[in-house]
Structure 1
Amino acid sequence: MRRMLLLLLCWWPAFVAGQTVAPRLSGRISDTLGNAIPGATVTLIRLKDQAGLLFTTADTAGRYVFQLLPGYLKEPLAVKVTAVGFLKCQQPVDAHTTDIHFTMQVAATSLLANVTVRSQAPIVQKGDTLNYDAARFTEKSDRRLGDIIKKLPGVEVDESGVIKYKGKAINKFYIEGDNLLDDRYSIATDNINVADVEKVQVIEHNQDVKMLNGIVPSDRAGMNIILKSRSKLKFINNAELTGALPRAYAVEGKNMAFKPAFKAINEVKLNDMGLTYTRASGISGLQPPAGVDAARTLFNNSKMVNLNDLYKLNPHTGIRLNGFYLRDDQQTDNIFRTRYYLPGADSVAYTEQNHNQLQTEALSLGLNYNVNSPKTYVNVVSSLNHNRNTGHTTTAAQNSIAATNQYTSTDFNNAVNGYLIFGKKHLLNYSNVFHYAENPQQTIFEPGALQDLLNDRLPYLQTHQYQRQQSFSNGTTFGYRKVLANWTMGFNAGLNLQQQFLDSHVELLQPDRSYTIPKGFGNALHWKKSELFSGASLTYNGNRTRLTLSAPVKWQYYRYANDSLAINKDRGTRFTNEPSVNWEYRVGREHSLFLDYRLDYRTAGIEQVYGGAIISSYRNVASYETPFLMSRNHSIRAGFSYKKVIQVLFADFDVQYAATKNFFMYSTLIRDNLTVVQALPILNNSKTAGTSMRVGKYIFPLNTTIVLSGGLNTSSSQQLQNEQLFDTRSVTKSAGISVTPTVLKWLKLDISSTYLQFNSRSAQAAFRVQHLQQWKQQSGVTVYPLKGWSLNFSNQYYHFAQKGNPVTSSLFMDAYAQYNFDKTKLLLRLSCTNIAGTASFETIRLSDNMTSTASYMLRPRMLRLWMAFDF
């Protein structure tokens, strides 16, 4: 009952805000003869600064409609109309105006000399917004929005689909100005057809809360997708069907809408071809090797229904539903060879051959109510997630052992956030976040694992481990800001409450079918934490300079006790201050310098303080009784951003440094059949430093973007392994190039290459120096021999060279022939993957004093027929 009342209180402000009836402003636009002027641009402007507030276009009858919020009418406004061949018109608006009609005069013309009209520039900058012309970055073989975005100069897309600008991930992804997908925007980049895209906009210093524009600057960019007019007037329905030999299939059906009042991306898809739905769901399954498409190593049977719908009640108010159901069965096979090099001649090595199976069933539902106008902001989000996993791994090491893991997680979240503004200078903020989660888990090892540690070195039948964690938290924040010309002063205060419970125990099934309980492998841990926080901030937002100074302080009280282990308990208080500085200075019109500094304290949670050991795999045991204050970290990042929009040249350079003081150290005992990790109260320091650069230039004659990147990073830390304490220092160097030139109208090339070098050494005597060189090369050629036809051949080559070990390499080759039936909107593709018949992929990974070689079994050569069509 208490939870129901809390939900009602959270939703009540949103319900009240939604009841305001928005006034309408409409009219008709015609010429002096009374003929309608369709397509005329109509703008609602603020007279004092001519700022545009709302935009629309006249329909085929010349009519337009605006829906206004009451707050608009408190200041002088006007409606401005423009149309090609006519003189601009403008009329004022007052509180009593409901209809404004325009009669436009034909503009006077004069004879002009013949001119040649060229296509518009690929990039146009207006204020803080970069407009990329999608057509200039689209090739004939491109299918999805993501194919365009990854070629935009200044924009970077990593392997997981995260979009970055100036080295930082974007903070929002909009479609026609609306946030439909939150962080799961890969649903849009993987589904929206390139034929529907007009522009891609990058909004520098994007502030999602409209009433905070010009008050609270942002150091991150947002991205907005502008669609073609025809794509905004109808539902878009399409399907993709794939059949393959050896027998495999994939089916996708999609329903999309991008209307002003309704936006949706809904899809149903299923396959057994190794295609994962991680990007659409956020749920990761069995992990492929880094840098390799999961479809090459994954054997699966996956089904997913994905719903994303946004209903606009008015231009600033919307209700959004996001949800999915996922059923996923996955299998992989791999071999791991791991060796730890310790100071001296000592080393520990082991080999594991694994057959992995994972069954996942997940349901997620989210409901969002949002009011985001220049005068009002209310955001209410509720979500429910339920995830059930059953994993089974058979490992052949010294002895064969099977591990079965059943894991269920359920969590509910509700968040309310709102802003109010008074007198144009006073801003109030309120937010509340409620979270509840529970995740029971059961693991069975057969035959019994860790005999030396658990059962006096005697064999036994099975190990049963049970875990359950419950978590409840609630946080409330109140904030106030006052605007003084270009300065904004801010204050906030709040309270966070957290309560958790961790239960775990181990049972051993003996040969006589009886159960025994080993000592030291149980937890009944109760955890509570209360946090009071407050802070002040000062922001300056000028023409060239943006500066934010922040000084939050926290007072934390914690208490925990373990009913299963009397000595595993503690309580105390901690006061911390975590200042930060964010500064940016615009050099000229396009370039900028920036500097970020932050002091962070890392404190423990229930996962870091349990004293009873928990088994994490057939050979790994850990107990993490760390101090509440775990580390203190100073980090600084500075750089220079160079941009020439007319020349389509973007370059970013930055340096980073971080110094961390750790108040504990992990002690690791490593044996060929056992790894035990414990936390010890040993002070130690670690440091990281690095620099990176990225240059993107659009080459007009080749209609391509060339991207150059490079990086240098160093890190130093201390290790405690097998009771030996030693320092390590590692250096990582990287470089990359990517270019996709259109050499001729019928010939396109695709070339990219990345190089990575890793070195690790120690001042400790007889420490084995680690050295690895890794090279990944991708190339492809696409030929357009006849209208509608495209032929492609591509390859990926991986090369690993490690000091003291043989060189390993892998080659993947793929090809396809495609024909596009323009009139019927049918696309056919016949492809062959893994033409070389590569049976396995081997990769090498180094970290400080550890070398790991992984070999993954690959899917065989496959012939596929793919069909895509609209309906």
Structure 2
Amino acid sequence: MYLKHLLATWALLLSIILASAQQTFTINGVVKDSSAVPLDVATIAIVTKNGSGLAFTNTNQQGIFSCKLQTNDNSLSIKVTAIGYEQKIVPISSYTSQPYTIILKKKVNLLKEVKVTSLKKVSLVSDTLIYNVKAFKEQNDRVIADLIGRLPGIKIDDKGAISYNGKPISKVYLDGDNLLDGRYKLATNNVPVNAVEQVQVIERDQPIKALNGYTVTNNVALNLKLTDSARAITINTGHAGIGNSAYSGEFNNMFFKSKNKSINNLKANNIGENLEHENADVGVSLNNETILKKAAPFLSITSSELPSLDEKYYLMNNDFAGNINTLLKLKSDWTLRMNVATLQLKRRYNFNNSVNYFLNRDTVRYTEIQNHLHRLNQWQIQSQIEKNSNAIYVKSLTKLDLPTWKKNGSTIQNDQELTQNLPTQYLSVSNETVIIKALGINNILQYNGLTQYYKLDERLETSPGLHENIINNNKSYFFLAQQTQTKNTFIHQTISFKTKFNKFILSTAIGLSYNSNLLTSNLYKTDSLHVTSVVGDRFKNDIIFNNLGLLGKASATYLLKKGVITAEVTPTFNFIDYNSKTNFIDKKNRYFSLNPSIDFRKNLGRYSEINFRYLKQTTFGEVEDIYPGSILVNYRQFNFNETPLPITKNNSANVRFSYRKPLAMLFYNLNLGYDKTQQNFINSFEIDNGLTKSTAINFNNTAKKYSLGGNISKYLYFASLNISANANTSLQRGFNFYNDEILPFNIKSIAATLTARKKIFNKITVSVSGELSRFINEQSTVNGKTVNTTNIEKLKSTWQHQLNQKLSYNVTYNFTLYKQQLQQPMHNIFLDMNVKYAPTKWKSFFELQCLNLITQKVYKQINSTSNQLFIFDIPLRARTFLLKYSFTF
């Protein structure tokens, strides 16, 4: 019955599409400036009387454009826009092959309410905001990330991810070219600030030319417009540093030709700079339909908790990273891109944990002392061929990922000592193919294909044997080994058809998604005579899991005068089967889900915008959610499942209001969110001293979350002061299941941050950032309600002083305070200093870095939940001095 309705929907949409066929016309012309020089940067749109776009294109290097359209409307016009020129609208007199010659005048902005000095800092052209690098650059800026983090309206977090007015950045282009996709830290952390002329924010980033006019995007991207000198030479930068048991080295090679761009680097250090983040994919796209699967590791040897502290203070590392990233522009709009990366990491972790579970009838406590060594050998290779033209778009992206981890160390839990070893091998290979073909003027045919295979092998070894009462009938034994292997094949294929007429864009699609998982696991014990045997069938898994989804998609987009509304539905039939001869399982499941969504965006005046999004989605568990045999996931926890196939239904709604007045450098936004999650299972935990048993069981589980947040950023010209603030609060409601008791809980949180940066006498810069957070965890019990409250206070201040043209220094102070109602307050203080000497007319400089000058030895942190108190302390790196020589040639 559902299939009949789905086919009827597709037939109706196709009939509407075919009924909209009209006569085809071609509009030709050339765009020049007032000096008769052709413009290759102009955007051409064929618009109706009310401004709605019917067809779009761009001029080529000779300023020539050609645009086809199907219409019976006799009141159309050619709308021409180009950065730095006045917009021009030319009425179409008749639909003939006679070319149009359009002359654009250079634009001069005269704004009464803004001082003319603001034009030197920022400008706004259509949906692109342009920051002038020279206006924001400071003498100690080295790479472009140093400057981007200070721009009003833009923020960089601790992982290097960039956001603009609260929206995440999807990509960072180099002169319009996508060299790195979401791994844009390789650009922002390595491109010299002197090589960039402008930082451009593209608010409606839609780089696929064939989709112009057929899709409405909400992605935000940055474009680094390079200087003429940077395009003409090869840039080599780097540094070498040595100190007290410390070293750091780096070499970067970059060239940015019009047809060839490349960023290549080598880095190594032992000063706590985590190069594992060097290749991290930090870009966030809001329009991705399908993403690669990621293997979920089953086993671990360390606590999942990490300190909320800059890694340079505690990470004991020896890291090496290398990258080669090249983009070649070929003929006929083709480009070829290669990205190769390697990581060779070695780091030591030493920390102590104290964990308290506050249960209805008891309090369970245990302590851990962990000392581990982790090694990583990883290779990543990506190759992409792409054609991006108005008539056709083709992309084939192949990825290979080969990380190998070796983790080992010793652990003491409740005075019991053990050693651990966890080697992990992973392989992932995938290909993504996209083909988009224009059919006439108003129709688009699109194919999306994704194929991936990955394999994960893990083996956790512990000595001496653990949990004798569970494993070996209360008898001691020598050695325990948990082994798991997962293999996964993922295929996702869709074909879609898009059409547009008047103010509507219609799309319909059909496809399939296939996911096949295989999980095998077993637990082995070795007795005192060194005889190895399996523990038993209840610790064994041999599961084959298959999920075949037949999916359709229908969407309708209505273009408002200054906005858009999109309604979409993705009906899906899922055929989910899994079986295991070992565990006597043979399940067949059939499900239908509609998965509707609606998006609304409207400009309220020139500077503000409101967005609304509602989404209802159903997702299903995979092999890691249904295995019945127990797995020793770490030395203190067993996991298994006693539930049917997990089903999660999520309803989410989000309203966002944003305001940006770029020339006045004022940005703010407000977000209101609601999430409701319904699941047919709950994780039941049995907690004993040092041992946790986690079981997924059948239960009607509902959780809700309400959130409210916003931020503001403003540059005060009269005071040379940059200020920003953000605040958010949330309420989460759900259930915990511990030691055979289901208990409702509430988690309330509120956090606020204020940052100010001020220039004094043009030589001194002072920045101060303060943060206040409060977490209130409430849990209902038979004896009433228990409340667990934690307060966190943070302060960071920096003093930068340029003594003269050659010598400068900066001092940074960090303070953190944790206050929990059941514990004594814990505070942490750090003081760092940098001194820089740059000889006149040199392209190089010397720098002395001084870290942890007051020599704090241990960092302490408190985390709490509705029924858990987690006290974490970790030894810190000793006071470190590093003398660096940085060079450019």
Report the TM-score, using the length of structure 1 for normalisation: 0.87
Aligned to 1:5: none
Q: Does 1:792 align with 2:827?
A: no
Structure 2: distance between partners of 1:26 and 1:302: 55
Counterpart code for 2:405? N
Q: Does 1:120 align with 2:126?
A: no
- Give a deviation string over 1:14-54, Cα, whole Å, max 9, x none: xxxxxxxxxxx9999999xxxxx9x9966567596799966
Aligned to 1:359: 375
Structure 1: distance between partners of 2:84 and 2:631: 71
Deviation at 1:66, TM superposition (A): 5.2
Aligned to 1:575: 592
* Aligned partner of 2:401 among 370, 385, 388: 385
Superposition map of 1:301-700 within 5 A = 301-314=318-331, 316-344=333-361, 346-397=362-413, 398-519=415-536, 520-566=538-584, 568-700=585-717
Deviation at 1:429, TM superposition (A): 0.5
- For the Cα contact (< 8 Å) 1:590–1:643, is it kept in 2? yes
3-state DSSP of counterpart to 1:646: helix
Structure 1: distance between partners of 2:422 and 2:539: 18
Aligned to 2:225: 226
Structure 2: distance between partners of 1:214 and 1:159: 37
The verdict on how the C-alpha distance between 1:296 and 1:161 changes in structure 2, with shifts beyond 3 A counting, is same
- For the Cα contact (< 8 Å) 1:71–1:375, is it kept in 2? no
Structure 2: distance between partners of 1:414 and 1:701: 54
Moved more, 162-171 or 608-617: 162-171
Deviation at 1:152, TM superposition (A): 2.3
The verdict on how the C-alpha distance between 1:221 and 1:45 changes in structure 2, with shifts beyond 3 A counting, is closer
- For the Cα contact (< 8 Å) 1:43–1:79, is it kept in 2? no
The verdict on how the C-alpha distance between 1:647 and 1:83 changes in structure 2, with shifts beyond 3 A counting, is closer
3-state DSSP of counterpart to 2:838: strand
Q: Which runs of 5+ in 1 are unaligned?
A: 1-24, 32-36, 57-64, 85-93, 108-115
Superposition map of 1:196-345 within 5 A = 196-245=195-244, 247-282=245-280, 289-314=306-331, 316-344=333-361
State the superposition RMSD in angstroms: 3.2
The verdict on how the C-alpha distance between 1:330 and 1:47 changes in structure 2, with shifts beyond 3 A counting, is closer
Deviation at 1:592, TM superposition (A): 1.0
Structure 2: distance between partners of 1:488 and 1:78: 20
- For the Cα contact (< 8 Å) 1:755–1:774, is it kept in 2? yes
Q: Does 1:195 align with 2:212?
A: no
Structure 2: distance between partners of 1:80 and 1:680: 60
- Give a deviation string over 1:77-121, Cα, whole Å, max 9, x none: 99999999xxxxxxxxx9999xx9x9x99x9xxxxxxxx985734
The verdict on how the C-alpha distance between 1:375 and 1:500 changes in structure 2, with shifts beyond 3 A counting, is same
Deviation at 1:752, TM superposition (A): 0.7
Superposition map of 1:827-838 within 5 A = 827-838=845-856
The verdict on how the C-alpha distance between 1:76 and 1:537 changes in structure 2, with shifts beyond 3 A counting, is closer
Superposition map of 1:21-36 within 5 A = none
Q: What percent identity do the matched residue pairs reach? A: 22
The verdict on how the C-alpha distance between 1:500 and 1:623 changes in structure 2, with shifts beyond 3 A counting, is same
Structure 2: distance between partners of 1:822 and 1:701: 32
The verdict on how the C-alpha distance between 1:283 and 1:226 changes in structure 2, with shifts beyond 3 A counting, is closer
3-state DSSP of counterpart to 1:512: coil
The verdict on how the C-alpha distance between 1:491 and 1:629 changes in structure 2, with shifts beyond 3 A counting, is farther
The verdict on how the C-alpha distance between 1:565 and 1:785 changes in structure 2, with shifts beyond 3 A counting, is same
Structure 2: distance between partners of 1:635 and 1:73: 39
- For the Cα contact (< 8 Å) 1:288–1:297, is it kept in 2? no
- For the Cα contact (< 8 Å) 2:405–2:423, is it kept in 1? yes
Q: Does 1:861 align with 2:861?
A: no
The verdict on how the C-alpha distance between 1:479 and 1:652 changes in structure 2, with shifts beyond 3 A counting, is same
Structure 1: distance between partners of 2:56 and 2:566: 28
Aligned to 2:21: none
- For the Cα contact (< 8 Å) 2:419–2:463, is it kept in 1? yes
- For the Cα contact (< 8 Å) 1:435–1:474, is it kept in 2? yes
Deviation at 1:129, TM superposition (A): 1.1
Structure 2: distance between partners of 1:118 and 1:785: 27
Structure 2: distance between partners of 1:425 and 1:531: 30
The verdict on how the C-alpha distance between 1:354 and 1:204 changes in structure 2, with shifts beyond 3 A counting, is same
Counterpart code for 1:823? K
Q: Does 1:739 align with 2:756?
A: yes
Aligned to 2:164: 165
Aligned to 2:73: none
3-state DSSP of counterpart to 2:663: coil
The verdict on how the C-alpha distance between 1:608 and 1:485 changes in structure 2, with shifts beyond 3 A counting, is same
The verdict on how the C-alpha distance between 1:52 and 1:717 changes in structure 2, with shifts beyond 3 A counting, is closer
Structure 2: distance between partners of 1:47 and 1:381: 31
- For the Cα contact (< 8 Å) 1:45–1:77, is it kept in 2? no
The verdict on how the C-alpha distance between 1:846 and 1:445 changes in structure 2, with shifts beyond 3 A counting, is same
Deviation at 1:293, TM superposition (A): 1.6
- Give a deviation string over 1:644-698, Cα, whole Å, max 9, x none: 2232111100110111111111100011121000011011211100100100001
Deviation at 1:833, TM superposition (A): 0.6
- For the Cα contact (< 8 Å) 2:30–2:64, is it kept in 1? no
Counterpart code for 1:826? S
Structure 2: distance between partners of 1:29 and 1:758: 60
Aligned to 2:857: 839
Structure 2: distance between partners of 1:473 and 1:78: 45
- For the Cα contact (< 8 Å) 1:145–1:193, is it kept in 2? yes
Structure 1: distance between partners of 2:878 and 2:796: 20
Superposition map of 1:102-117 within 5 A = none
Q: How many residues align?
A: 808
3-state DSSP of counterpart to 2:326: strand
- Give a deviation string over 1:507-563, Cα, whole Å, max 9, x none: 100112222322211111111111100011011223312111111111000111123
Aligned to 2:822: 804
Deviation at 1:156, TM superposition (A): 2.7
- For the Cα contact (< 8 Å) 2:43–2:59, is it kept in 1? no
Aligned to 1:154: 153
- Give a deviation string over 1:596-654, Cα, whole Å, max 9, x none: 10001121111111111111111111013543242211110012112222321111001
Deviation at 1:143, TM superposition (A): 1.9
3-state DSSP of counterpart to 2:570: strand
- For the Cα contact (< 8 Å) 1:762–1:769, is it kept in 2? yes
- For the Cα contact (< 8 Å) 2:427–2:455, is it kept in 1? yes
